[in-house]
Amino acid sequence: MEILKKKSQVRELVNKERSKKQIIGFVPTMGYLHQGHLSLIKKAKNDGCFTIVSIFVNPLQFGPSEDFQRYPRDTERDLKLLKEANADAVFIPSDEEMYNSNHLTFVNVSKLSEKLEGSFRPGHFAGVCTVCAKLFNIVQPDRAYFGWKDAQQLIIIRKMVRDLDFNISIVPVATVREEDGLAASSRNVYLSPDQRKKALVLSRALQKIEQMIKFESVIDANLLIEEGKKIIKSEDVELQYLEAVELENLERVEKIRKNTGILGAIKVGNVRLIDNLIME
Ligand code: PAF
């Protein structure tokens, strides 16, 4: 596995592989890899891609009161996992390699970035889009893999790619869950055992909604959301939002159908967690 620190090294490697007719698959991450990331790499490998992973904790997507400094980092562990997953290359740039000291350009997908997560984390998605646009320009992949776990991020990146004519297919991959049902996330390590038990209420609420849709044919979004909120409020956590939305534009829907999703966020102590149910 090639370990690359400079943009020029990535470009050189990609040119070499493309001249051998390789399809370039790209998995952007902020490291502290978990099963969710590994499933993206597995999908890229199964698709036959020369698979490049990036590890960069992007300061632009953290608000001033968020966890940028304490975001979990362990490069040695990540490299070991990447080798085991047969990733072909990893790009680990420094902050200076990614952003010059006078960086003034930002990419913002308006409207979609202001809803749901965006209303709790202003500026977050502009940070995500800016770093992804840069990474896409550096790696120039044919495909980029994103998890449904961060559904709003996936939808916004897909929109950015369409609006700005990036020649990249965005490939969505299903959420990976830990044994107890918690959606895999690098931030799960922040949870104490007691908080973890409480955190499970979000996946439990989504599971109940899924059962109501599947087995009781309930499609009334208000009814489903009410039931989900009732479950979440029975636990000692802060419900930030639970909404049924159209996946294309994140507008609220009245009825659940194909291409809608139920997106939720809770706060357990200081830890924010998101999860969702996607009807693709
Ligand atoms: O999902 C993430 O880990 C990040 O938001 C991403 C896409 C790597 C951009 O920094």
pLDDT tens across 163-191, in order? Answer: 999 999 999 999 999 999 999 999 999 99
For CA atoms 183, 77, 269, 236, give the dihedral sign. positive
What is the CA(132)–ligand 1 centre distance, in A?
8
The reported pLDDT for the residue numbered 234 is 98
Question: Does the pLDDT of residue 280 top 90, yes or no?
Answer: no
How many Å separate Cα 158 from the centre of its chain? 12
Q: Whose CA is nearest to atom 6 of ligand 1?
A: 29
Mean pLDDT calculated for residue range 193-221: 98
Residue percentage of the chain with pLDDT more than 70: 100
Determine if residue 222 is left, alpha or beta; phi over 0 gives left, psi from -120 to 50 gives alpha, anything else beta.
Answer: alpha
Q: What is the pLDDT of residue 268?
A: 98
CATH of 2-173, one of 1.10.287.980, 2.40.30.10, 1.20.970.10, 3.40.50.620: 3.40.50.620
The pLDDT assigned to 128 comes to 98
Which atom of ligand 1 sits closest to the CA of residue 147? 1
pLDDT band at 123 (very low <50, low <70, confident <90, very high): very high
SS3 (DSSP) at 198: helix
Domain with CATH 3.30.1300.10 in the chain: 186-279
* Residue of 34, 37, 103, 124 marked active site: 37
By the 10 Å C-beta count (0-12 exposed, 13-18 middle, 19+ buried), 1 is classed as middle
What kind of architecture, by CATH, is found in domain 186-279? 2-Layer Sandwich (3.30)
Which residues of the chain are in CATH 3.40.50.620 domains?
2-173
37 is catalytic: yes
Contact (Cβ atoms closer than 8 angstroms) between residue 132 and residue 160: yes
Say if residue 156's pLDDT is above 90. yes
Residue to substitute in 128, 145, 176, 187 for testing ligand 1 pocket (most ligand atoms within 8 angstroms of CB): 128
Partners of 78 in beta bridges: none
Mean pLDDT, residues 229-242: 98
Mean pLDDT of 79-87: 98
Helical pair 221-233 and 193-216, crossing angle rounded to 10 deg: 160
Nearest Cα to 154, choosing from 106, 221, 162? 162
pLDDT confidence of 37, banded at 50, 70, 90? very high
Main-chain dihedrals φ then ψ at residue 245, nearest 5 degrees:
-135, 160
pLDDT at 105 over 90: yes
**What residues flank ligand 1, with Cβ below 6 Å?**
28-30, 58, 61, 128, 131-132, 150, 153
